[in-house]
Amino acid sequence: MPIERMPAKKVQIGEVTSANWVKMEGFEPSFVETPAGERISRARILATVVAKFIAEDGNFAAITLDDGTDTIRAKCWKDIKVAQPVNVGDTVDAVGKVREYNGEIYLNLESAYKVTDPNMELLRRAEILQRAKSPSPPQEQKTDEKEAIRKKVIAELQAAKEGVFFDDLAKKIGNEAVLEKAVEDLLAEGICYEPSPGKIRKI
C-alpha cells in the first residue's frame, strides 16, 4: 500500500505538466520526472482558480488552476468537500498527488486553501527559485546518503514495535526527499508495510 502523506513539493504547474510521466508498479508511487531529473509524486501549487465543476450527484469535482506557467486540473471523487468552498477567481494553495489519465497530467486533490495575502505568492516564487538554484549532489553522494537514511529508518522501525509515522521520521532524520525514497524502497522490498495512512511498521 502506498504512503498517503509523503511531503508535497512546492512547484509551478509548468514543471509538472511538461515533465515525463513514469508509471510504477507495486508499492512504489508513480511520478513525473522533470528534465533536471527531479521526481514529483505529490505537488503543492499556489495558483488561481479559473474554472470549477461539481457533478450533480456530488461524487466528482474538479477545479482548473493557473499560475502563469500552465494550467492543470485538480480532481476529487466522492469526498468533494475540499473543492466546494473554492470559487473561480480565488487564489489557492492546493496539494494533491500527481496522476495521469489518457495523456492528461492532473492532481488528485487533497486540500485547497484560499490565500488572501499577496506576499504568499512572492514567497512561493522565491522558494521555488531557490530550489531550482540549489545544486544537485553527485550521484555517489546521493547513494551514500540514501543508504545512511535507510539504516536509520530500519533502526527506528525496530525500536517502535507498533510502527512510526512518516512525519515523526522526518523530524528525527531530516532530508525528506531522500527519506521518502528510502521508505518507498523498504515498502517495495516488503521490509515494512503501512498499517494506516502515513504510518510505517516493520514486518
Among the candidates 116, 133, 150, a domain finishes at 133
Looking at residue 2, what is its pLDDT? 42
Looking at residue 132, what is its pLDDT? 65
Distance CA 94, CA 92 (A): 6
Report, in angstroms and rounded to the nearest whole number, the Rg of the chain calculated over CA atoms.
Answer: 18
Structural domain that includes position 193: 139-202
Name the pTM for this structure: 0.63
Both 86 and 149 in one domain: the answer is no
Among the candidates 133, 164, 190, a domain finishes at 133
Query: In this predicted model, what pLDDT tens digit does every residue of 33-48 receive, in sequence order?
Result: 887 778 898 999 999 9
Residue 119 lies in a domain: yes
Both 112 and 186 in one domain: the answer is no
